[in-house]
Structure 1
Amino acid sequence: MALHSFFNVAIEGELLRRIALILSLFAGLSGCAANDLLVQRQSSLEGRLEQIVLSQNSVKADLAALTGQLQEIKQQSTRQPAAETELLARFAELQEKVKIIANRLIQLESVSGQSATIELVNQESTPAGHEESVQAAYIKAFGLFSANNYSGAAEAFSAFIAAYPESEYTANARYWLGDCYFSLGRYSEAIDSFSRVLEMNPLPKRAADALLKTGSAWYHLDDPEKGSAVLRLLIEKYPGSEAAELAGKQLDKK
């Protein structure tokens, strides 16, 4: 069989099927990762979720590069049929990379699935349909955030807070809304949102993170006095936390 015909069959057949499978795993992983946020008291699992999102982004970049290389090989096989040995070797190498990437995604999916099995917290008994609606709205908003669609996520989190002001997830939704505003450079709105988080008596890690972002937002608004005061308050209230460590480093630079 001619080399270019071989690549047409192999790449467009089995290998592209593998890539399609990988892409479908991404879609499934987003849902699993978002579900990590719906577990008991959510603080530590949100850290795991953020690590998963970063890992997804890295794997997506690897996959994009791999897809480009596959296309390049396909084109070369048509233009340079004499280079059969070299191209076959590259093809085999890229096939192995596809397998590695697929395994990495499966591992990430496994981590997400394990996290999502932790029992959900229900402070009061609620109808299953209502609870599912709350979770679906929260997952949708965080999906936009994890895709760096901060404007869309801000709208979704705002809608969630308005629709479910007493939800188990409202404090976290308020925090992520503030994070969206911060990322969009809307620092006054970010400060307001983080202040509301603190009024909701969040877990220590969430409160410390909110104070850290609040202090940084004040610096961005050219009010270093307020920014430094907030960071010092953070260090006083949550000594030894990661946020306090970052606050100390930020104060050292001022």
Structure 2
Amino acid sequence: MKKIIFCFLLLLGCATRQDLIGLEQHIVNLHERVSRLEKTHVKDLEKRVKKLETTIKTLNAISSRQVDLLVQIDSLQTALNELNGKVEETTYQLEILKENLNKDIENLNNQIKDLQKRINDQISRLEKIEKRLKIIEREKQIKRGKTEKQLYQEGLAYARKGKLKEAIKVFNQFLKLYPKSNLAGNAQFWLGECYYSQKKYEEAILAYQRVIKNYPKSPKLPPALFKQAKAFLKLGDKETARILFEQLIRKYPKAEEAKWAKNELIKLASPELSTQ
């Protein structure tokens, strides 16, 4: 070791001043280089630290949002549980309501059946009473000396004299007592005529319709169909009247009323004639 130091001193002694200056400059350069390296390294470390700090902040923010999200999810789960509870309660209440409603419906159906039975019994009883009253009225008419034909003639006489209210009353009485009489269709037709004369065209139409429906073999059917069409004309229903006139001509072409119906159709086809 001593030999090495000695040699070093010997070398120093031999070194020129210029070498010393170069060495000193080299040392300075080394110091500057080390300093620059240190600065560069420090800056790099600072950047990495800042980056780490930013990353940590980001992670903290994400963590905070995750916490908030977990809180919200927990809150939603609680609300969902409450809602499920309400749904179950509502479903239970609806089942009870449905059961009670079914019981009420069953009770009402039983009451309706019972009421229908009582109504049917009352109707049956009233029908029996009505039949008995018809028999009694018929017996009264016989006792008064009025036969079926006499009662019809009485109504016809009232109608011809213009005593329409009395005629309507008698014809209704006749139809009530003798609904299956050979003169029933005639009586029904004259009822329509009385209403027509009173300008009660709706009632007249219904009366003529009963002739058409209930007494299809009555000789009064063609005139009933014609007068029904005329009643519709009076009410301003030309289309229905036209259909009825055509029906009359088609079904009863040889009837006198068919000729009249053809004339009416001519009038309907010509506005000038239809206003006359």
TM-score by length of 2: 0.43
* Highest RCO, 1 vs 2 (Cα 8 Å, sep ≥ 6): 1
Select the structure of larger CA radius of gyration.
Answer: 2
